[in-house]
């Protein structure tokens, strides 16, 4: 039975010895020159699997793949229970994408030799390719038990576990790898990455820090990983420090330079960031994504023309790159060139990655321009392209809400909540539109559910408190809710306005005025706050100041008939009683 390559060699040597032994011990010279064929017993080489194995090996060296498989099969016909041959044939079949046949032969190899590590490894690879991750992990684990000194098996098994989000198991695998190879850095890197995926950042930092005293490449990679961890944790200064060290140790590390440029941009260090990307563009001139980053930094600095020129140059090379066209559309919108922005956005076709975002951008842009028909059309295109995206449905509901199409907005919010029942932003929008459409009790129920999910949701607390106050119900509870919201967000102008209105209803107008003045400073563009300020000023007989507050409210919302009536009545009163 053929088991290992060395076994085959021994077999061929044995054949040679057998041939020699078959000759006479002492022969005359003439007999030695002309032996009698009848006196020599030759082995039947056509029945020797070792011969076909060697012929397969020779064919493999010559690059004849078909002959390799043919000779292995002939060897296997003569030695069908060889785990080694079954595994070799299975490996070739797997490479030829004949997965089902390869799987059968690999399983057969294990039947013949249950502890054959190579067969278990091959099974792991086949199962991984077919998507049967549980069996793949089982096969790799068995192979690793049989051959604990195989580095690749640790990587195969740990990576497979991590891909299934079995992070604790992957962690154990790579810890075992480190124990087996304590002086090799590879296991530490894999373990660190798994710890990051498992959000065990402190432990990951500890692992990567151990690698900082390694050689240049390893230390550079460790600094890069540490920078990435700090970036995830929004510790931007420390992230910048590590990325700078990574670049210093490995100037050709493109990923480290990209991350350094990005973290500088996140800190609004735009000039430094631009310099990093500019240098990187010289290092990797074919990497157009670097130029995209440069364009976005220029846009942040309001250098729109230069940014647009960079993006247009990229589009000349790759006109179908939808992401670039999307960024160009955004820059044109920032410049106020709405028609040009629309032309760029509409060129992004359905099915391209930026299509949905382009339609959302168009819908919001048209809503602000009061082109309601286009706004609805574009958001419908986004929703049709991705009907299972809760955020898209939420935005569609918000647009319908803005257009006072409350029933349709409620329907959209409910569909979005079916997809994401715990999304408090969507539930808040639903409660808000229910209240606006006259279904106040249902709106309050939605806010109650939000508070159940998150008792410290300041927006929901404020909404409930203000709604109860306006309805004249349970003023004490309303004040308690709003004060709790203000503790959570002490600088929120809308919450300050709500508390001011509670104080006004309680007759404490001096306190109410103090809160309203703070609210007006925080939120200068809210018509309701301006109206409330006018109401309290009027109660305090500061009529001229009340007029100014009402006028400011109408500047923001000219269609508010209630405020118009208040202003007209007050102006008439001032005219008829100028002394007061």
pTM (2 decimals)?
Answer: 0.66
The residue written with tokens 């006072």 in the block is: 404
Average confidence (pLDDT) over 429-443? 91
Count of domains observed in the chain: 1
Q: What is the pLDDT, as a whole number, of residue 324? A: 95
The 10s digit of each residue's pLDDT in 510-530 is 999 999 999 999 988 899 999
Q: Is residue 532 part of a domain?
A: yes
Average confidence (pLDDT) over 453-474? 89
Left (φ > 0), alpha (ψ -120 to 50) or beta: where does 404 sit? left
- As given in the structure block, the two tokens for residue 360 are 């959302």
Q: What is the pLDDT, as a whole number, of residue 574? A: 86
Q: Tell me how far apart the alpha carbons of residues 236 and 265 are, in angstroms, rounded to a whole number.
A: 10
Q: Is residue 196 part of a domain?
A: no
Q: Is residue 465 part of a domain?
A: no
Among the listed residues 508, 501, 504, the one whose alpha carbon sits nearest the alpha carbon of residue 486: 501
For 490, how many CA atoms within 13 A lie in the half-sphere containing its CB? 1
Q: Tell me how far apart the alpha carbons of residues 86 and 100 are, in angstroms, rounded to a whole number.
A: 14
Buried b / exposed e along 502-523 (16+ C-beta atoms within 10 A): bbbeeeebebbbebbebbbebb
Q: State which residues form the domain around 545.
A: 524-580
Cα 173 off chain centre by: 25
- As given in the structure block, the two tokens for residue 94 are 């797997």
Q: Is residue 544 part of a domain?
A: yes
Q: Is residue 460 part of a domain?
A: no
Query: Cβ distance 202 to 229 under 8 Å?
Result: no
Confidence of residue 46 (pLDDT cuts 50, 70, 90): low
Q: Is residue 497 part of a domain?
A: no
Q: What is the pLDDT, as a whole number, of residue 49? A: 67
DSSP 214-237: S-HHHHHHHHHHHHHHHHHTT-HH
Q: What is the dihedral of CA 539, 544, 545, 548, to 10 degrees?
A: 120
pLDDT over threshold 70, residue 27: no
Higher pLDDT, 74 or 497: 497
Least confident span in 62-76, 280-294, 490-504, 532-546: 62-76
Average confidence (pLDDT) over 55-62? 73
- Quick one: what percent of the chain has pLDDT higher than 70? 90
Query: Cβ distance 122 to 108 under 8 Å?
Result: no
Cα 155 off chain centre by: 23
pLDDT over threshold 50, residue 42: no
Average confidence (pLDDT) over 299-316? 94
pLDDT over threshold 70, residue 2: no
The 10s digit of each residue's pLDDT in 144-188 is 999 999 999 999 999 999 988 999 999 999 999 999 999 889 999
Q: Is residue 361 part of a domain?
A: no
Q: Is residue 565 part of a domain?
A: yes
Distances in Å between the Cα of 318 and the Cα atoms of 253, 294, 325, 353 are 26, 17, 10, 15
Left (φ > 0), alpha (ψ -120 to 50) or beta: where does 97 sit? left
């Amino acid at each position: 039975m053929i088991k290992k390559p060395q076994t085959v060699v021994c077999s061929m040597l044995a054949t040679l010895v057998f041939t020699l032994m078959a000759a006479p011990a002492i022969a005359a010279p003439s007999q030695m020159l002309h032996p009698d064929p009848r006196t020599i017993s030759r082995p039947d080489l056509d029945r020797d699997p070792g011969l076909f194995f060697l012929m397969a090996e020779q064919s493999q060296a010559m690059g004849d793949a078909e002959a390799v498989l043919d000779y292995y099969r002939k060897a296997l016909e003569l030695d069908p229970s060889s785990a080694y041959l079954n595994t070799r044939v299975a490996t070739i079949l797997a490479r030829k994408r004949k997965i089902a046949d390869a799987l059968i032969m690999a399983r057969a190899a294990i039947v013949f030799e249950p502890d054959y590590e190579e067969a278990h490894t091959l099974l792991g690879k086949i199962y991984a390719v077919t998507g049967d991750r549980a069996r793949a992990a089982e096969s790799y684990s068995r192979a690793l038990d049989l051959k604990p000194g195989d580095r690749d098996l640790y990587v195969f098994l740990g990576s497979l576990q991590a891909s299934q989000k079995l992070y604790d198991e992957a962690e154990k695998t790579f810890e075992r790898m480190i124990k087996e190879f304590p002086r090799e850095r590879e296991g530490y890197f894999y373990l660190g990455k798994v710890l990051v995926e498992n959000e065990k950042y402190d432990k990951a930092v500890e692992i990567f820090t151990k690698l900082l005293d390694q050689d240049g490449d390893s230390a550079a990679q460790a600094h890069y990983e540490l920078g990435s961890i700090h970036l995830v944790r929004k510790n931007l200064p420390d992230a910048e420090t590590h990325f700078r060290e990574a670049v210093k140790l490995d100037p050709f590390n493109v990923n480290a330079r990209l991350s350094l440029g990005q973290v500088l941009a996140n800190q609004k260090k735009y000039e430094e960031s631009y310099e990093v990307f500019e240098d990187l563009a010289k290092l990797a001139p074919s990497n157009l994504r670097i130029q995209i980053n440069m364009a976005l930094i220029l846009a942040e600095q309001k250098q729109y023309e230069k940014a647009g020129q960079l993006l247009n140059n990229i589009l000349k090379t790759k006109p179908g790159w939808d992401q670039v066209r999307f960024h160009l559309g955004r820059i044109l919108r920032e410049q106020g060139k709405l028609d040009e922005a629309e032309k760029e956005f509409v060129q992004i076709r359905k099915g391209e990655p930026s299509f949905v975002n382009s339609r959302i951008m168009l819908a919001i842009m048209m809503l602000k321009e009061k082109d309601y028909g286009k706004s609805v059309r574009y958001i419908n295109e986004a929703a049709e392209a991705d009907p299972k995206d809760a955020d898209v449905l939420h935005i569609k509901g918000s647009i319908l809400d803005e257009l006072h199409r409350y029933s349709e907005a409620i329907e959209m919010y409910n569909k979005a909540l079916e997809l994401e029942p715990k999304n408090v932003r969507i539930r808040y929008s639903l409660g808000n539109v229910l209240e606006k459409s006259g279904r106040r009790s249902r709106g309050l129920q939605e806010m109650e559910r939000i508070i159940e999910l998150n008792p410290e949701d300041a927006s929901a607390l404020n909404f409930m408190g203000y709604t109860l106050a306006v309805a004249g119900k349970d003023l004490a509870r309303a004040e308690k809710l709003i004060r709790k919201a203000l503790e959570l967000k002490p600088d929120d102008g809308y919450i300050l306005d709500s508390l001011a209105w509670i104080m006004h209803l309680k007759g404490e107008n001096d306190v109410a005025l103090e809160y309203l003045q703070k609210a007006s400073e925080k939120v200068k563009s809210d018509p309701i706050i301006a109206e409330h300020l006018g109401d309290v000023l009027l109660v305090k007989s500061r009529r001229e100041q009340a007029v100014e507050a009402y006028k400011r409210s109408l500047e923001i919302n000219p269609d508010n008939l209630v405020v118009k009536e208040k202003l007209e009545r007050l102006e008439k009163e001032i005219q008829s009683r100028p002394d007061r």
